[in-house]
Amino acid sequence: MTGYIARRLALAVLTLWLVTVIVFVLLRVAPGDAVVAAIAQAPGEGALTAEQVDERREALGLNRPYAVQYADWISDLATFDSGTSLVTGGSVWDDVAPRISVTLELALVAGLITALLGPALGMVAAMNAGRPIDHGIRALTFGLMSLPQFWVGLVVVIALASWFGYFRAVEYANLWDDPQRNAEQILLPAVILALRPAALIARVVRASALDIISSDYVRASRARGLTPAVVARRHVFRNAMLPGFTVFGAQMIFLLGGAVVMESVFNLPGLGRGLVLGVSLRDYPLVQFMVIGFASTAILVNLAVDLAYARLDPRIRLTRVAGASRS
């Protein structure tokens, strides 16, 4: 297990380095000028001359060779320096820190809904295979996986405003300041964000549960007189959740990515909306720092899921031990 963890950590470091290279290159080759975009956001500085723009670019270090800019950025990351925003002129961390709690709350609530709804739908469909409820759940999950989340969010917002006259407060309320208002702002986008991953997990759990239900030890359990509910709880659910657990880990990363869309649709001041603004304003340090944060989170989640899966499934541990002994 120690060797496996070491290999995964080495792969994680390599992956993170590749992410730094990709995001750095893409930002530099993207159309638009970072200095001009930053000046456009500064009151009273919209009429600078070309010489003044060049001076600003030199002051920010954007006229240096790309290799030098990349090396400086990596050295800043190594010393936990988030950099300076090109738009606000302040620390990137000061701009990012207030947004973390919003995205984290949205992702956690959506993850909880996914973890409860997905396996429940999958098990109900599997235990009623071939019946109308099974067909209904399969059709529902297929539809939820097919619909774009941003479209669902826009339709829900328009429908609530048009049919019920419901308008959510524009100003965001923190959980510890106004829990009720915060719940009104977070719950709806969290539910919409959770629909697609919950549908995917439901289909995976259903397929896995059907394989387990047809296995010999499940038939033997029924022959001993155990009720279907006991068989489902003791033998089917836990084993069917193993592949669902792996999918859930991947979908948690998807939830963080989906927050970019949901926060924009529902006007939540989270990391996703901040990333969209940073890209539109060509704020290189802000975008680079946020992308590295997302990538680091995804890598850590993947590593945690792999380790937890090996812990939950003894067959994985036995396979690794056998492979190590042969080598």
Each residue's pLDDT tens digit, 65-101: 889 889 988 998 888 888 888 877 788 898 888 888 8
In a domain, 297, yes or no: no
SS3 for 149-165, per residue? HHHHHHHHHHHHHHHCC
Domain boundary among 22, 47, 78: 78
Structural domain includes residue 113: yes
- Higher-pLDDT residue of 294, 243: 294
Q: Do 72 and 135 belong together in one domain?
A: no
Task: Examine residue 119 and state whether it is found in any structural domain, yes or no.
Answer: yes
Kindly state whether residue 306 falls inside one of the protein's structural domains.
Answer: no
Domain span at 45: 2-78
* Position 316 confidence tier, pLDDT thresholds 50, 70, 90: low
Assigned token pair, 136: 């209904």
What H or E segment, with its residue span, contains residue 120? helix 92-127
- Which CATH number is 169's domain given? 1.10.3720.10
Q: Does residue 274 form part of some domain?
A: yes
The mean per-residue pLDDT over the stretch 128-138 comes to: 89
Last residue of a domain, one of 256, 280, 304: 280
> Do 122 and 195 fall within a single domain?
yes
177 domain-assigned: yes
Say if residue 226 is in the same domain as residue 194: yes
Between 124 and 234, where is the model more confident?
A: 124
What's residue 20's pLDDT? 92
Residue 64 falls within a domain, yes or no? yes
Asked if residue 249 and residue 136 are part of one domain, the reply reads: yes
Q: How many domains does the chain have?
A: 2
Q: What is the mean pLDDT of residues 276-296?
A: 87
Judge whether residue 46 has pLDDT over 70: no
Long-range contacts of 92-101 (CB under 8 A, 24+ apart): 92/285, 92/286, 92/289, 93/289, 95/274, 95/286, 96/271, 96/274, 96/286, 96/289, 96/290, 96/293, 98/269, 99/269, 99/270, 99/271, 99/273, 99/274, 100/271, 101/174, 101/175
The pLDDT-based confidence of 19 (bands split at 50, 70, 90) is: very high
Cα-based distances in Å from 119 to 136, 201, 215, 240, 305: 16, 7, 20, 9, 17
Give the lowest-confidence range in 192-206, 253-267, 290-304: 253-267
pTM of the full predicted structure? 0.77
CA distance 302 to 92: 26
**Tens digits of residue pLDDT in 205-225:** 888 888 887 777 677 766 776
Element (H, E) at 253: helix 237-265
SS (H, E, C) 208-222: HHHHHHCCHHHHHHH
What's the whole-number average pLDDT of the chain? 79
Residues 31 and 155 reside in one and the same domain: no
Q: Of 209, 180, 230, whose CA–CA distance to 119 is shortest?
A: 209
**pLDDT at residue 302 tops 70:** yes
Q: Nearest-CA neighbor of 260 among 248, 251, 269, 247? A: 269
**Which position has the token pair 């973390």?**
100
What are the distances in angstroms from CA 130 to CA 138, 227, 296? Answer: 10, 20, 43
Residue 179 pLDDT > 60, yes or no? yes
Q: Is residue 24 part of a domain?
A: yes
